[in-house]
Amino acid sequence: MKKILLILVLILIFNNLALAQEDGFAKIEKEVFRILTNIIRFAFSALMLFGSLVLIFLGLKYIFAKGEVKELHQSFLYVILGLILLIASFFVPNLLKNFIESLRS
C-alpha cells in the first residue's frame, strides 16, 4: 500500500514537470502567423502604392486628353473603388477582431 501511494505521489509530482515544457508546435504556429502577417502587410502596401501611381497616371492622362474623357472617368471610378475595397479589406477584419475580443472580456 505504501509503494502504491508513493508511486501515485511521484506520478503527480513529475506529471506537472512534464506539462511545464513548451510546445514546439506553438512556436511554429506563431512563426508562420508572423510571416503571413508580414506578407499580407507587404501586399497591402504594394497595392496601395500601385493604386496611387495609377491615379497619378490617370490624372496626367486626363490633363492631356483632348475630348475622350468618358473612358478616363470609368478608369477613375474603377481605381477609386479598388482602393476603397483595399482599405475596407484591411480595416473590417481588424474591427471584427477587436469587437469579438471586447465581447470576450
Please work out, in degrees rounded to the nearest 5, the angle formed at the alpha carbon of residue 40 by the alpha carbons of 45 and 92: 90
Is 70 exceeded by the pLDDT of residue 20?
no
Is 90 exceeded by the pLDDT of residue 81?
yes
Residue 72 belongs to what domain range?
2-104
Domain count, the chain: 1
- Residue 36 CA to chain centroid, in angstroms? 7
What pLDDT does 53 receive? 94
What pLDDT does 52 receive? 93
Other CB atoms within 10 Å distance of the CB of residue 36: 10
Q: Which three cell numbers stand for residue 6?
A: 508513493
What pLDDT does 32 receive? 86
Check: CB of residue 26 under 8 Å from CB of residue 68: no
What pLDDT does 82 receive? 92
- CA neighbor of 80 nearest in space, from 102, 58, 63: 58
User: Of 22-31, 53-62, 75-84, which gets the smallest average pLDDT?
Assistant: 22-31
75 contact partners, CB below 8 Å, separation of at least 6: 58
